[in-house]
Amino acid sequence: MFKAIFTNSFGILISRILGFFRDLLTASALGANIYSDIFFVAFKLPNLFRRIFAEGAFTQVFIPAYASSKHRSVFSANIFLIFLSIILIITLFVNLLPGLATQAIAVGFDDKTVEIASPFVAINFWYLPLIFMVTFLSTLLQYKHHFATTAFSTALLNISLILALFFSQDKSQIEIVYYLSFGVVIGGILQLIVHMIAIYNLGLFKLIFGGFKYLKIKSKLITNETKKFKKQFFPAIWGNSTPQVSAFLDTFLASFLVSGSISYLYYANRIFQLPLALFAIATSIALFPRVAGYIKNKDDTQALAFLKKAFWFLTFLLTASAIGGIVLSHEITWLLFQRGSFTPEDTLNTTLVLQMYMIGLLPYGLQKLFLLWLYAKEQQLRAAKIATFSLGSYILFALTLISPMGASGLALAGTISGFVGFTLTIKAFGVKNFFDILRNKNALYLVVGSILLTILLIIFKEFASAYI
């Protein structure tokens, strides 16, 4: 278990380091203004779908369905064609009517800004079909307990964007956005290529091509399996997408605030996503195939044992990350972004948003862990109901806090919805099961360690403030 977690974590770490370097260069080149807002809006929608697919719904429904299928190659080919067809139709629609798509993402943009942003939205959206194909192949690799390719491949997107920024030096800001947009598409192509190589090396190409070859002949044999998959998939999308939909609504609402607000949310969320991806997402990806396997074989005891180990591992790491992120939020933002067009005022505004996000790191991360149990038990509908309550709480608090707090109020609303989602997930998992996990000497170590870490970081902050 831990080998797979560390493989995922190390790959994600490499990718996120490159991602922060990319953001550092982006902040320096564009700062926090209308052009940075335009690029982040253009990349928002395909990135939203990427997170829903790659980090949630598709994998968590496909793996149990694929494992129980009697005609795996035909079943996988059928699901691939259905989803790719739908995604290509949506992509073509966005490219034919990019203005409508832009207005849907950022209603607060005026007509001139929508006109400028529309071509970038159309270009960036081609990343979506590419990343779906990547996700499909990565799911097959995960079933074979191969995680390295997917974990490390995200770095290719960041490398592509870094090169785009390098080649767009001395260009105008609108030209830089063009370079970045094409960099996104090229990054998706590179990710697809390395996954195809991994599939070939593991000997899975024969299975995939066999599915396409016999799909027409054997399609009737998988009718019930396909219906069951679809029935579970759409609740799973909703159940997995609350944080992403909240982030999407952040952009929608922030477009009504002062220029730069979308960028403050983006930069702060990038920092917040590092420990979330590095620890919570990496753990859930590595854990899910085994937990699903144990539950399929009716071995709940072993599945709970795996969850317990992962819980304490994750809790210690996320707690330390949250404390560090809150106490050192200004120093982290200053170190990563304050240069070039990114001003001290931008640092201050991003810091406030980051603090609000980091408060919710622990519940967000742990919810991902316990949702595994629901999905392995094929309780997608229950997870969807939890997501609905969570999203409803976000909307309520976002509308309440946006006026007095601005962008930081939107971040705090997301954090509150994270606590709501975590509480409801624990109720579904079983309060007794959860408290059985908590009855451990690790709980005392966690409290003492958190207090000591907070004190040490405050002392460090006082010394560091003399140099900032």
Mean pLDDT of 28-52: 74
Amino acid at 155: A
pLDDT at 185: 93
What stretches of 225-283 adopt beta strand conformation (E)?
none
Specify whether the CB–CB gap between 332 and 325 falls below 8 A: yes
**Confidence class of residue 56 from pLDDT cuts 50, 70 and 90?**
low
Q: Which of 153, 183, 155, 158 has its CA nearest to residue 168?
A: 183
Specify whether the CB–CB gap between 124 and 42 falls below 8 A: yes
**Confidence class of residue 8 from pLDDT cuts 50, 70 and 90?**
low
**Confidence class of residue 15 from pLDDT cuts 50, 70 and 90?**
confident
Q: Which of 28-42, 94-108, 148-162 has the highest mean pLDDT?
A: 148-162
State the pTM of this model: 0.71
The total number of residues written for the chain in this structure: 468
Specify whether the CB–CB gap between 364 and 215 falls below 8 A: no
Specify whether the CB–CB gap between 384 and 366 falls below 8 A: no
- The first and second tokens of residue 65, run together, are 């369905």
Query: What percentage of the chain has pLDDT greater than the value 70?
Result: 92
| Cα(195)–Cα(133) distance, integer angstroms | 9
Other Cβ atoms closer than 10 A to 371:
26
| Cα(408)–Cα(357) distance, integer angstroms | 8
pLDDT at 6: 67
Residue 55 pLDDT > 60, yes or no?
Answer: no
Least confident of 158-162, 195-199, 285-289: 285-289
- Residue 230 is part of which domain span? 2-464
Specify whether the CB–CB gap between 373 and 307 falls below 8 A: yes
Mean pLDDT of 263-268: 87
| Cα(64)–Cα(263) distance, integer angstroms | 38
Specify whether the CB–CB gap between 131 and 58 falls below 8 A: no
**Confidence class of residue 197 from pLDDT cuts 50, 70 and 90?**
very high
Half-sphere exposure for 120 (CA within 13 Å, toward CB): 28
Mean pLDDT of 163-167: 90
pLDDT at 301: 80
Mean pLDDT of 431-453: 83
Overall number of domains in the chain: 1
**Confidence class of residue 52 from pLDDT cuts 50, 70 and 90?**
low
**Confidence class of residue 54 from pLDDT cuts 50, 70 and 90?**
low
* Helix 2-30 × helix 173-201 angle, to 10°: 160
Task: Give the chain's mean pLDDT.
Answer: 83
Residue range 74-92, pLDDT digits in tens: 888 888 888 889 889 988 9
The 10 Å CB-count burial string (b at 16+, else e) for 152-162 is bbbbbbbbbbb
Q: Which of the two residues, 367 and 7, has the higher pLDDT score? A: 367
Residue 295 pLDDT > 90, yes or no?
Answer: no
Mean pLDDT of 199-209: 83
Q: Which of the two residues, 219 and 307, has the higher pLDDT score? A: 307
| Cα(10)–Cα(147) distance, integer angstroms | 11
